[in-house]
Amino acid sequence: MAHSTATIDMGDPLRPYIPPNETPEEKKKRIQHEKLAKKHSEAIDRQLKAEKEEKDKQKDAKLLLLGSSESGKTTVLKQLKIIHGKGLEAERQQYRRIVYINILTAMKALTNAVTDLGYKLKIENNQQHLEKFQKLTSIKESLNCNSFTIQAAMKDQKLDDDALDLYREHVDSIKALWNDPTIKKCYNSASEIGLQDSAKYFLDNIDRISKSDYLPTDEDILQARVRTVGVAEHKFEINRTIYRIYDVGGHRSQRHFWAPYFDDVDAIIFMAAVSAFDQTLEEDIDVNRMTDSIQLFDTICNNPLMINTSVILFLNKIDILQNKLTFTQVKDYFPDYKGNNKFSSVTKFFQQQFLDCFESEDKHTYVHFTHATDTKQMRVIVASVNDIVQRENLRESGLI
């Protein structure tokens, strides 16, 4: 059987469709409609062109935020949300549970120290409160948690309820114990007992935090401590530049996540707690935290993938360092230190310890002494970091 095929003339698909037997009135309406459609199309084209030009003006910058655990990386990200983001409102409610956990953890460490150091409470009635805390094996176990992380603290509603219940159960004991001179004496051994830097801040504000309608302030959130696990990407726009900042956990068990992010980085912000010269790692009590930071800095800066990457060094927690130097000698922990125990000499010494790590003299390095919980200071430093990144981009482009 023979087959035949028929070809249907579809016309030019780009030409406007003209109905057959079109009346003059229909033609007039069609032409008006086509004019409006063309005008609308041209407006869209202009908008797309403007958006493209605007996007071309904007540049992306990729930054890695690195450093040992508890160096202040998360605090810097909170500051960026305040200064160049949408603020902290979206996470305010969730940080309430973190504040409660921070306070419980602090008092647990202090009461453990009373026993470990062989002290006796000055206020006799506080013994019952001490015994109440001693019944807690740990705050994590009391809340049935394996670990406190940003992810868990933000998502687990049950953790919120459990933390509130545990806090309310112990708040009277916390208030009573914080007023005991022996507990204050234990606080002076904060570095030895693993007490968080923000412990005094929260314990001094215990009455405000204990109110039924309590909601954390920006300062509370900046002071709150919670562990980062894995890698988190954060985007901020600063002076027409989109910054992609990657925050990675500083705990030793988390550092294997770092390497894949070393490629195509505009700059590294490395954070070190300069106040941690008398502390040891939580994961290894035989390793000094400052020594660990310096060794980590050495490894990163001399990594082959980082040879041409600018480094911005934040020597953080200078406020804590200044206070600590009034009663702790740096030379007791760093015998090579020969200067006096004054802030200027100590910071100069530690800055040089980091700068001596560089194997290449051509490395572009910028150093800032920071107080990451101070928003006013961080505004200035963030602006400086933006200038540094832009200047380095111009240098790479051969424009300067």
Q: In which domain, by residue range, is 308 found?
A: 61-88+229-395
φ and ψ at residue 60, rounded to 5 degrees: -95, 140
Q: 74 in a domain, yes or no?
A: yes
Q: Tell which of 223, 256, 277 closes a domain.
A: 223
* Residue 16: inside a domain: no
75 annotated ligand binder: yes
Same domain for 388 and 349? yes
Say whether 4 counts as a known binding-site residue: no
pLDDT of the residue at 81: 93
pLDDT score of 19: 66
In a domain, 50, yes or no: no
Q: What is the model's pLDDT at position 312?
A: 92
- The answer on 247 and 178 residing in a single domain is no
pLDDT value at residue 324? 93
Reported residue count of the chain is 400
User: Is residue 26 domain-resident?
Assistant: no
CA-angle at 394, arms to 246 and 81, nearest 5°: 30
Q: 128 among the known binding-site residues?
A: no
Is residue 314 located within the same domain as residue 167? no
Same domain for 97 and 81:
no
- Note whether residue 364 is domain-resident: yes
- Residue 68 has a pLDDT of 86
260 with 318, same domain? yes
So what's the pLDDT on residue 306? Answer: 80
Q: Which of 156, 147, 287, 143 is nearest to 229 (CA)?
A: 147
Task: Tell whether residue 398 is among the known ligand binding residues.
Answer: no
Asked, for residue 258, whether it belongs to a domain, the answer is yes
For residues 330 and 359, state if they share a domain: yes
If asked whether residues 239 and 157 sit together in one domain, one would say no
Do 328 and 235 fall into the same domain? Answer: yes
Q: What is the pLDDT of residue 364?
A: 74
Tokens 């990729």 identify what position? Answer: 62
In a domain, 102, yes or no: yes
Q: How much is the pLDDT for 56?
A: 53
Domain boundary among 193, 223, 253: 223
Per DSSP, the three-state class of 338 is coil
**In whole angstroms, what is the distance from residue 114 CA to residue 119 CA?**
5
Q: Is 317 annotated as a binding residue?
A: yes
Q: What is the pLDDT of residue 6?
A: 45
> Is 70 flagged in the annotation as binding?
yes
> According to the model, what pLDDT value does residue 355 have?
93
Question: Could you tell me which of 76, 69, 140, 75 has the C-alpha nearest to residue 109?
Answer: 140
Mutual angle of helices 157-178 and 92-116, in 10-degree steps:
40
Task: Tell me whether residue 182 is annotated as binding.
Answer: no
Q: Are residues 201 and 134 in the same domain?
A: yes
Q: Output the six-digit token pair for 30.
A: 């069609």
**228 has binding-site annotation:** yes
Q: Can you give the pLDDT of all 400 residues of the chain as single tens digits?
A: 444 444 444 444 445 556 677 788 878 877 887 787 778 777 777 877 776 655 555 568 888 888 888 899 989 999 999 999 989 998 898 899 899 999 999 999 999 999 999 999 999 899 999 999 988 877 777 776 655 554 455 555 566 678 888 899 999 999 999 999 999 999 988 888 888 899 999 999 999 999 999 999 999 999 998 877 767 788 888 888 888 888 877 676 667 667 777 777 888 899 999 999 999 988 888 899 999 999 999 988 888 878 778 889 999 999 999 999 999 999 999 999 999 999 999 999 999 999 999 887 777 789 999 999 999 999 999 999 888 888 776 666 555 5
147 assigned binding-site residue: no
Q: Residue 328, annotated ligand binder? A: no
Which of 223, 253, 274 marks a domain boundary? 223
Q: Is 200 annotated as a binding-site member? A: no
Q: Do the annotations mark residue 318 as ligand-binding?
A: yes
The CATH number given to whatever domain includes residue 370 is: 3.40.50.300
Residues 206 and 294 in one domain: no
Give the per-residue pLDDT at 208. Answer: 97
227 is in an annotated binding site: yes
Q: How many domains does the chain have?
A: 2
Say if residue 176 is in the same domain as residue 257. no
Q: Is 47 within a domain? A: no
Instruction: Provide the total of helices (H) and of strands (E) in the chain, helices listed first.
Output: 16, 6
Domain CATH code at residue 152: 1.10.400.10
| 355/383 same-domain check | yes
What is the rounded distance in angstroms from the CA atom of residue 106 to the CA atom of residue 272?
22
For residue 163, give Cα distances in angstroms to 168, 215, 224, 249, 338. 9, 14, 15, 24, 47
